[in-house]
Homo-oligomer: A and B are copies of this chain.
Amino acid sequence: MSILIKNAYIVTMDKDGIGEIENGFLFIEGNLISKIGDNSQHAADGISADTVIDAKGAILMPGLSNTHTHLGMTLLRGFADDTALQAWLETKIWPAEANLTAEDVYYGSLLGCLEMIRSGTTAFCDMYFFMDETAKAVEEAGIRGCLSYGMIEFGNEEKGNKELAVSEKFVRDWQGKANGRITAMYGPHAPNTCCQSFIARTKKAAERDGAGVHIHVLETEAELNHMKENFGMCSVHHLDAVDFWNTSKVPVLAAHCVWMSDGDIRLFAEKGVTVSHNPISNMKLASGIAPIQKMIDAGVKVTLGTDGCASNNSLNLFEEMKTAALLQKVGTVDPTALPAKTVVEMATVNGGRVIDKLTGVLKAGSKADMILVDVQKPNAIPIFDVYSHLVYAASGSDVKTVIVDGRILMQDYKVLVMDEEEVMKKAKEHALSLAERTKRKN
Contacts and interface: CB of A to CB of B under 8 A. Distances in A.
A313 interface: yes
A185 interface: no
Nearest to A430: B382
Given A330-B289, A392-B312, A393-B313, A88 B381 contact: no
Given A81-B340, A388-B78, A286 B332 contact: yes
Contact of A316 (B288, B330, B379): B379
A340 to B, nearest CB: 6
Given A82-B335, A288-B330, A330-B288, A77 B314 contact: no
A66 to B, nearest CB: 14
A13 B111 CA distance: 30
A334 interface: yes
Nearest to A280: B326
A381 B107 CA distance: 11
- How many protomers of this protein does the assembly include? 2
B382 A286 contact: no
Interface in A289-314: 289, 312-314
Nearest to A281: B326
Given A78-B392, A280-B326, A312-B392, A83 B382 contact: no
Interface of A: 74-75, 77-79, 81-85, 88, 111, 114-115, 118, 280, 282-289, 312-316, 319, 322-323, 325-327, 329-330, 332-340, 376-379, 381-385, 388-389, 392-393, 395-398, 420, 423-424, 427-428, 431-432, 435
15 contacts: A75-B382, A78-B384, A81-B339, A81-B340, A81-B385, A84-B336, A118-B379, A284-B326, A284-B329, A286-B333, A288-B333, A312-B392, A315-B379, A378-B424, A397-B398
